[in-house]
Structure 1
Amino acid sequence: MLIEQWAVLIIAVLLIGISKAAFAGSLGLLALPLLLLSFEAPTALSLLLPLLIAADALTLHQYWRQWSMVDLKRLLPAALGGILVGALLLGKLNTAFLQGLVGAASVLFALNYFLQRGKAATWLANSLGGGILGFVAGLSSTLLHAGGPPIKIYLLARQLPYTTYLGTAAVFFALTNWLKVPAYIWQGQLTLQHLYQVLPLLPLSFIAIKLGVYLKKRLPERIIIPLIYSLLFLAGARLLWTLP
């Protein structure tokens, strides 16, 4: 890989780790748009999956037993359905389409945050809302590693304590990312070569998680999250602007 590609991967690892430990995945939304600036879409998706799994394991350790089983029981069965649908589509979408999808989703997620900031969709805080958003999260996570926004919408609607919110998100993504592995192998998206490429970066995940825990204790979410979504909007807009 080129030096530029290594640099992008290192930044992605830091974003993922900090995000999972401190912001329940919000900052991690930037990882895929960032990788698409240096990698083809299938390669970017494949390289991200083992990095996400490593970060999930470390995040679970930080928030062990601080999750809501009620909400996980609502979300996970529906997410499995979304993963199965995503598995059928994986590998059938060309690079330009995926780049456009990531770009459009990034812009829409960012706009939704700024338009709805401070408003929790409490009408989704039930089994039906959990099922619908769990399915969407499973599907978008499989295709784009972008299951964070639907889960964020549901968990915010539930108005959980912030630590419980982070712990529930950690369990959800730890399980769904492992469930995506067979789909990625089946479609030829994940190979030993991809694992070898990201292996040197795995220790950095530990540092990123610890940094995320540190930031969670010292930086208010009201300052960091708007910055994250501003960067997400810019990254998505750039992907749309550079579509082939």
Structure 2
Amino acid sequence: MIELFSYSLSYQTLSLLFLAAFMVGMAKTGVAGVAMLTVPLMALIFGGKASSGLMLPILIMADLFAVKYYHRHANWGYLIKLFPSAALGVIIATFVGNEIDDRTFMLIMSVVIFISLAIMIWMETANKEVIPDYWWFAILMGTLGGITTMIGNLAGTIMALYLLSMRLPKNEFIGTAAWFFLVINVFKVPFHVYSWETITLNSFLLNLTSLPFIAIGAFCGIVLVKRISDKHYRWFVIAMTALAALYMLF
């Protein structure tokens, strides 16, 4: 066992934490879906609500890498539509989350992933055109994104659904998602600190030990995504979401 900042962790647990940080780094720089594999893993180790707080600073550090590299590609028209409803979703989830136990938490994550995956596959195989860019659709996706990101850091599938439906090119997809999650994740911090009390000085210091693994993951993600064409990237996002869904099922 290793004692780190009041945490007593086995070598295996610490390795899994660093693996999660590496995968989050990859996910934030374009390897969509990988981060979802870390959500049930961290929930299993630290508990549902506690893991969401422990993961948040890791996500923010990875968001910074993504924004640094892709910031020029963000589509602010979509972001402006999403931010208000996403903030509302975070506030709703802050109160709802106090009533959710770990088992319900895992059930919600599973439902969100499978529904989002089914819709994404249907849209692609049915050759559906862009969903009309109405405000109601942005408000719905923003609210769902805010709720799922607060409860389980699981808004990746919701944002993938929205941005894929808008037919954004690869870099614009990644850049828009990067700015969305950086802003919303920073917005979530006070709720985790003061309402849920899942972020403490000790948990943040533990997060900092994972920074090198986040950086390596971010670099690997950038290199990998450069090798994928825009056309293939859409199916890549769906495939990674499917793998994450299967992982949660078993």
Calculate the TM-score normalised by the size of structure 2: 0.86
Matched, 1:10 2:21: no
CA displacement 1:178-224 (0-9 Å, x = unmatched) = 00001111221211121122221112111111110000012453664
The residue number in structure 2 matching 1:163 is 171
C-alpha displacement at 1:7, in angstroms?
2.1
CA displacement 1:86-125 (0-9 Å, x = unmatched) = 1222333112221222233334444444444455562342
Contact in 2 for aligned 1:4/1:38 (Cα 8 Å): no
Matched ranges for 1:22-171 at <5 A: 22-23=30-31, 25-118=32-125, 119=127, 122-171=130-179
The residue number in structure 1 matching 2:197 is 188
Letter in 2 for 1:228: M
The residue number in structure 2 matching 1:233 is 245
Identity, in percent, stands at: 23
Q: Which one of 202, 227, 231 corresponds to residue 218 of structure 1?
A: 227
C-alpha displacement at 1:168, in angstroms?
0.7
- What are structure 2's unaligned runs of at least 5 residues? 1-8
Contact in 2 for aligned 1:121/1:153 (Cα 8 Å): no
Letter in 2 for 1:131: I
Letter in 2 for 1:193: N
Q: What is the CA RMSD across the aligned residues, in angstroms?
A: 2.0
C-alpha displacement at 1:14, in angstroms?
1.8
Provide the C-alpha distance between the structure 1 equivalents of 2:70 and 2:82, rounded to a whole number of angstroms: 18
Contact in 1 for aligned 2:33/2:156 (Cα 8 Å): yes
The residue number in structure 1 matching 2:212 is 203
CA displacement 1:113-165 (0-9 Å, x = unmatched) = 44444555623422221111111101111111111122122212222222111
- What are structure 1's unaligned runs of at least 5 residues? 239-244
> In terms of mean alpha carbon deviation, does 194-203 or 105-114 score higher?
105-114
SS at match of 2:44: coil
Calculate the TM-score normalised by the size of structure 1: 0.88
Q: Which one of 164, 179, 192 corresponds to residue 187 of structure 2?
A: 179
Alignment CA distance shift 1:106-1:39 (3 Å): farther
SS at match of 1:83: helix
SS at match of 1:35: helix
Q: Provide the aligned length of Structure 1 versus Structure 2.
A: 237
